[in-house]
Structure 1
Amino acid sequence: MKKKHVLLAVACGLLVFLPLLGVTYAAFTDKGTLAGSTFNVGSGDLKILNNPALGIELSNLVDEKPGPTFSNINPNWHQDYGLKLYNNASSPLGIFSNANYATANDPDELRSIIYVEIFVWTDANSDGIIQESEIGASKGNKTITKWKTEGIDLGTIGTGELKSYVLRFYTLASFPDSKQGKSGIFDFEFNAIGQ
């Protein structure tokens, strides 16, 4: 009987002590919260200088501009087109270029006889006019067809950096007479990928 009283006393003591332990535990716990944390992801903001001679001015930075018109294309023809790209993003960007076209805009497949070669351009006097001495290393050359399917890697452009390129369009020594008098329309894209 003495054992029962001891067990009963221990059980009663535990019943009283355990809730107090929980209250004590609750009294010594707490948490801190960072409520409404905001995260802003940087953007891949690649801009084209509308006028290569004007430099980096907000009014001169565009996402798209009309492309050049080339006339009287014949065997051994070439023409250069200057392009300046500006990284307006918060991080470095990889630049990859492609041609883009709808087959309906080139029914006579001029894309298979016109080539492009992209060169680094150092516009030494910042006048936006290409001088032969300012044309640097080639980034690659392809027909417009291959430019669409394979593209050309132009490397990396740092934050706030301006890079200049010469797009040299050309034809080889001969092409079929069936191409004479024909025309095609193509877009040239410069895609930015965050690094």
Structure 2
Amino acid sequence: MNRKYFMYGFTTILILVAVGIVYAAFSDKGKVLGSSFSVANSDIKIMADTTQGTNPANLVDEIAGPSFGNIGQTWQQDYAIKLVNGGTTKLQVMSNAYYETANDPENIREHIYVEIFEWSDANNDGIADPGEYPNSLGKKTIIKWKTEGIALGEFNPGQSKPLVIRFSTENLSETKQGATALFDFIFEGIEM
């Protein structure tokens, strides 16, 4: 009887070895090692010089704003700027004014308007020529620009967005003569 169990055990071992050899001959596995993950980012850059293009040395996070003088009752001045989406995701871009009331004691923010235009730099010279910016994205006082903002639309990765910002007054009162103010404006991208 021991011999019967021995033969039964031996046969079982032989069958398992044969199945193992067949499995090894017809199976294989692959490995993926060192997987890396990177979270998408948004990064709005400003061209320091609108005539120089998207050279990385020309892309900055902030620039000095314009200085306007001798503002009168029906004054207007255009300011060209180019933004670049240096991030890896599509953005919805918004522009807002930022100021502290202490920097505008005469409240001229109530009388200065801002209007942002899409600029198609047709000749790629970086200079906003008349006729290159017919499409207005909105006109508001600086107060409304701060509280409501102006939507600038969608902005794909690597895309540049040329804009012209028009500052103007309409019937500025003589009582504001000699007033000064300091305002910042920002561009904010929200990932889509």
TM-score, length of structure 2 as denominator length: 0.81
CA distance in structure 2 between the partners assigned to 1:171 and 1:177 by the alignment:
12
1:40-62 C-alpha deviation (Å, 9 max, x unpaired): 21111110000000000010000
Q: Which of 87, 90, 97 is the equivalent residue of 1:89? A: 87
Q: Does 1:80 align with 2:102?
A: no
What is the match of residue 173 of structure 2?
Answer: 176
Tell me how far 1:92 sits from its aligned partner.
0.8
* Mapping 1:1-195, distance limit 5 Å: 38-172=36-170, 174-195=171-192
Shift of 1:36: 7.9
Q: Note the C-alpha offset of 1:160.
A: 0.8
Which blocks of at least 5 consecutive residues in structure 1 are unaligned? 1-33
Distance 2:64 2:174 in 1: 29
- Give the whole-Å Cα distance in 1 for the aligned partners of 2:130 and 2:33: 59
1: CA distance between counterparts of 2:54 and 2:173? 43
TM-score, normalised on structure 1?
Answer: 0.79
Code of the aligned partner of 1:177 = E
Q: What is the CA-CA distance between 1:116 and the residue it aligns to?
A: 0.4
Q: Distance in 1 between matches of 2:126 and 2:148?
A: 29
User: Bigger CA drift: 175-184 or 95-104?
Assistant: 175-184
Aligned residue for 2:70, secondary structure, equals coil
- CA deviations on 1:97-149 (whole Å, 9 max, x unpaired) are 00000111111111000000000001112222111110121100100000000
Structure 1 SS opposite 2:96: strand
Q: Percent identity?
A: 48
Letter in 1 for 2:66: P
Question: Structure 1: how far apart are the matches of 2:80 and 2:165?
Answer: 6
Cα RMSD for the two superposed structures: 1.6
Cα deviation 1:66-94 (Å, max 9, x = unaligned): 00000100011000000101011111111
What secondary structure does 2:57 align onto? helix
Q: For structure 2, list consecutive stretches of 5 or more residues without a partner in the other structure.
A: 1-31
